[in-house]
Each structure stands twice: as C-alpha cells, then as structure tokens.
Amino acid sequence: MKKIGVALLGLGTVGGGTYEILTKNREYFRKTLGLDVEVKAVLEKNLERAKSLGVDEKIVFTDISAVTANPEIEIVAEFFGGIEPARTFLIEALKAGKSIVTANKELFSKHWFELEAAAKETGAGLYFEASCVGGVPIIRTIEEGMQANHIEEIKGIINGTTNYILTAMSDEGSEYGEALKRAQELGYAEFDPTADVEGFDATYKISILSTLAYHKRVPIEKVSREGISKVDAADIKIGKELGYTMKLLAVSKNRNGKIEARVAPVFVPSTHPLASVKGSFNAVYLHGDSVDDIMLYGRGAGALPTGSAIVSDILYCAKQASHKRYPFAENVECVDKDFVSDYVAKFYIRLSAEDVEGVLAKITSVLKNKNINIEAVLQKKPVSKDNAQIVFVTDNVKETSIKKAIEEIKNLGAVKQVEALYRIEE
C-alpha cells in the first residue's frame, strides 16, 4: 500500500471539508486506489477549531517549517486564500520538493509563473482543480477530456455569490442591496463582498481557465471586468419582458490566436441553458473544434464540493510518477496584439428622456448614422413629462461604435441620461 502524507494549511471552510473527506473516506481510498492518505500536519492558529474537527492537537502547528522539514509529507494543500502568507509558504513547500494543491485562484492567477518556476526546480507538482468552479472538474476536463481539441471558447457562470444575487433579483424582484444582504446571511457573500460582486473572483478564474485552454498566458489585466453592484432591478425586469435573463458571465474566446476575455453582467436569452442556472450554482460551456460544446454544471463553492476537488487533486497527484509542467505559465511576454481590441455584440440600452415629440427620431437617427440596426424597441407610458424610459436592443455591432453612438445620444437635448448598457450574449 502506497502511503501519502499530507499537510493542510488552514482549517477554514474548505480546509475543514477536506479534512472531513480525507478522514471519512480513508478506508475507501485504500480499497479502491491502493493509497493510504494520512493528514500528518495541519497549520492552524485556532486550536479549538482543529479540535472541533477531531484533529489530533499533536499534528497542529503554526510554523511552516513543521511541514517543510517533515519527510513524510509529500503533498501540501493550501486554504488560506489571498496572496500572503500563502505565496511564501507554498514557494517554501515547493522548494522542499513537496507538491501543492490549492483552491487559491487569486494567488494562482497572479503568481502561477513563480509557482511553476519553483516547482520545476524540484520536480514537484502544481494542482489547482479547486481554484475554478469549486467541485466541478473543469481543469481535468480541459487538461484531459479535451486534449484532442483546440478550445475556442469558454463561457459561463463561475461565481456563485453573484448568481445567487442576480437570481433573487430576477425571480423574486429583490433590489440589489436586499439580495446581497441575504447572500451574506447565507454565507455566500463575504462581509466585504467586493471580490465577488465586482467580478474579481470570476476574473481570476477565467484567467486561469483561458491560460490553460489556450496554452498562452492570459493575465488578469487583460480580462475586461465589470461587476454587478450597479445593476438596477428595473433592467432585469425589462430584460425579462424582452426574453432575456441577466447573468454575470465570464466569456473567453480564442479565434485564430486572437483572444478576448471578459467578465460582465450580460443578458442571455431566457431559453438559453445558462439562464436556468439558478442560485449559487455554476455552469460553464467549453467549445472545442472537435467535440463542439460541453456543458459542466455544479456547485462552485462550499466545504464539501470544493473539498471534493482538493481531495481529487491529492489522489491524482499521489498517483503520478512525474508531474506535468506548464511552460506557457512562465511566459510573461503577453503582448497586446494577442488580444482583440474591439468586441462585436448585440446591446441593450436604456435611456431616460423628456417626453417630447421627436426624441425617438433623434435617437434612431444617431443609430442609423452609425449603421446600427435596431432589433427591438420598448417605451412604456411615461410616469411624468420629464421621465420617459426608452429601451433599444441593437443588432450585432462593434463595442466602439455603440460607445460613440452613446456619447452622441447623451448630448441630444431631450435625452437626460443613459441609464444602462449591457451586452447580449447569444
């Protein structure tokens, strides 16, 4: 029986879930995989937390040297999140020849090249399935299930907190603040929700997935990012009337070597499978040139779902004679010409204007002069003379053209404000 010693850095939600899976399924892994995986050390300041999970206090430490100096430990799983001290500890572990398993998307998206360089020196492994889409095996799908393909597109809901909030706004008519408060009470959103609601979390994940899929570094700075904190429930309601559902989508495309990557709230047709992904669930489409579309669906967060991905990596790592290298992750030379500078999409535009004759004609003439075809238009009976709400849905148009048109529309006398502009992803 092959013995594998593991260290867990941190016993928060996912660390605790990982400990639970490793303990309850230890015998099962012995039987089915011939691997005896034992937790040999835990780095945790809160001894009470460790004891409450049933961890023997003799293996609880606070100093990383207790892990790096222990020859029985082969694999180090990290749960601190954020950059420091995770980065320093993982580099030390790699330099000591230990393979690492992590759910830390921020660290991985920002410092992958540094981790890869340290791992290469000692031949240690880097495993990060849990960093993207929680318990859903998306990394393994890209790495192994789709290796016969050029991956051309990744599109999906990869943040559960924002999907929970947008679902509550859409299905229950909640306002943003109310839905966020509920997400916090349920433990989806953090006390400081910025990383989720402003799209940073999804940006880290789409950067990792795109880098892996395209064998080319797609740094977070090249992912255009927009969060959901400014989404008005009015647009979700109007969008529904027009047959659309709002989702925070991460979209990444690679067409003939030109990459486009972004995270933004967009409308998808309500008949699209992504529209029916509700609450805190995640779902991702992967498009390969041979396999066509694959859709993965499941829980993108939580102690046991993310713990499942961590343990899966630990077991996978334990079975490897040598570890996969990521030479492209070391390539920091990412140049602007690799990226698309303009996007083509349909757009939803909501304007507020005075209720006077000719205002619609003025707006449509700006759109006409920019060759922007209107697919749908909606105006409700104005609530007052100075507040007519007008919504346009355009045909496919370049983002730069729509932005120029919007600037001109803003300067039309009768138009008070451009209230909302969203892409429509079909």
User: CB neighbours (10 Å) of residue 354?
Assistant: 15
Give the shortest CB-139-to-ligand HSE separation in angstroms: 13
Instruction: Classify residue 270 by its DSSP letter.
Output: T
Give the chain's radius of gyration (CA, Å).
24
Within the chain, what is the greatest distance between any pair of CA atoms?
83
Active-site positions read 205
Choice between 161 and 252, CB closer to ligand HSE? 161
Task: Give phi and psi for 100, each to the nearest 5.
Answer: -120, 150
93 touches 107 (CB < 8 A):
no
250 touches 210 (CB < 8 A):
no
Choice between 157 and 372, CB closer to ligand HSE? 157
What DSSP line would sit under 331-383, residue for residue?
-----GGGB-SS-EEEEEEEEEE---TTHHHHHHHHHHHTT--EEEEEEPPPS
Give the residue carrying structure tokens 């849990």.
130
19 touches 39 (CB < 8 A):
yes
Give the shortest CB-246-to-ligand HSE separation in angstroms: 17
Residue 158 to residues 134, 204, 281, 353, Cα–Cα distance (Å)? 9, 10, 8, 36
Rounded-to-integer distance, Cα 17 and Cα 28, Å:
17
Choice between 102 and 245, CB closer to ligand HSE? 102
Choice between 137 and 300, CB closer to ligand HSE? 300
Choice between 103 and 238, CB closer to ligand HSE? 103
Give the shortest CB-164-to-ligand HSE separation in angstroms: 8
User: Which residues lie near ligand HSE (CB under 6 A)?
Assistant: 159-161, 188, 196, 201, 300-301
Rounded-to-integer distance, Cα 420 and Cα 352, Å:
10
E strands, 226-316, in order: 244-255, 258-269, 281-288, 292-299
Give the shortest CB-66-to-ligand HSE separation in angstroms: 28
Give the shortest CB-255-to-ligand HSE separation in angstroms: 28
Choice between 103 and 397, CB closer to ligand HSE? 103
3-state secondary structure at position 420 = strand
Give the shortest CB-202-to-ligand HSE separation in angstroms: 8
